[in-house]
A and B are shown apart, each in its own frame.
Chain A
Amino acid sequence: AQSVAQPEDQVNVAEGNPLTVKCTYSVSGNPYLFWYVQYPNRGLQFLLKYITGDNLVKGSYGFEAEFNKSQTSFHLKKPSALVSDSALYFCAVSGYNTDKLIFGTGTRLQVFP
């Protein structure tokens, strides 16, 4: 069965500092990995995905994620955090030939001025 784990319930970072939100995965076969963001009282929004190719994936709002096969990780990163980045972030995985996504438990990112 496919799954993702987000080990941190909350990440706090000062504005202007780099941020990392962690995600590890467990799949049989090649992983298809995604990050989504949820702002208060809104639905989830797609940020970026890894399907194949370059291990460093760039997405919306200056976010990027690094796929690491040996560590089975897909951490979300941003070089310089903004207060407006404060939100709930979800890692997700899907299998081959399907759009069915399994989401992690979410990590709340709080960026302080």
Chain B
Amino acid sequence: DAGVIQSPRHEVTEMGQEVTLRCKPISGHNSLFWYRQTMMRGLELLIYFNNNVPIDDSGMPEDRFSAKMPNASFSTLKIQPSEPRDSAVYFCASSPGGGLNTGELFFGEGSRLTVL
């Protein structure tokens, strides 16, 4: 089975440009998570969806960040405009969901974003 698929794997852009990161969760998983990893802050939960509905977006840094999940097999994280401090590795993860407390999140390989 394919795991969580993220694209692009690497993105280098200039300050002020729009960045869109994409994620395809594992088929049948009901929960999807976006995390950001940096040396300074570690692993931060940005937002998570359950059954395509955003449940908790309290970790989204500011209005420049937005996330959507138009259907069960696709999600995007958009940064507009991007800033150098947004440079990080962004991970998407999915889980069976439903509040099962499995805790078994399946992570993608990450999208490494560099904003110059």
- A interface, size bucket: 20 to 34
Instruction: Say yes or no: A49-B103 contact (C-beta < 8 A), given A43-B93, A43-B110.
Output: yes
**Is A101 an interface residue when CB atoms closer than 8 A count as contact?**
yes
**Is B104 an interface residue when CB atoms closer than 8 A count as contact?**
yes
Query: Would you give the shortest CB distance from A33 to chain B, in whole angstroms?
Result: 8
Q: Considering only CB atoms, which chain B residue lies closest to A49 in the complex?
A: B103
B107 touches A97 (CB 8 A): no
A99 touches B103 (CB 8 A): yes
**Is A86 an interface residue when CB atoms closer than 8 A count as contact?**
no
Instruction: Say yes or no: A43-B4 contact (C-beta < 8 A), given A92-B103, A99-B97, A99-B101.
Output: yes
Q: Which residues of A contact B75 (CB under 8 A)?
A: none
Query: Would you give the shortest CB distance from A21 to chain B, in whole angstroms?
Result: 15
Q: Which residues of B contact A83 (CB under 8 A)?
A: none
B99 touches A99 (CB 8 A): yes
Q: Pick the contact of B99 from A98, A105, A106 — CB < 8 Å?
A: A98
Q: Pick the contact of B108 from A43, A46, A96, A104 — CB < 8 Å?
A: A43
A49 touches B104 (CB 8 A): yes
6 cross-chain CB contacts under 8 A:
A43-B4, A43-B110, A98-B101, A99-B48, A100-B45, A106-B43
Binding site for A on B (CB under 8 A): 4, 31, 33, 35, 42-43, 45, 48, 50, 55-56, 91, 93, 95-97, 99-110
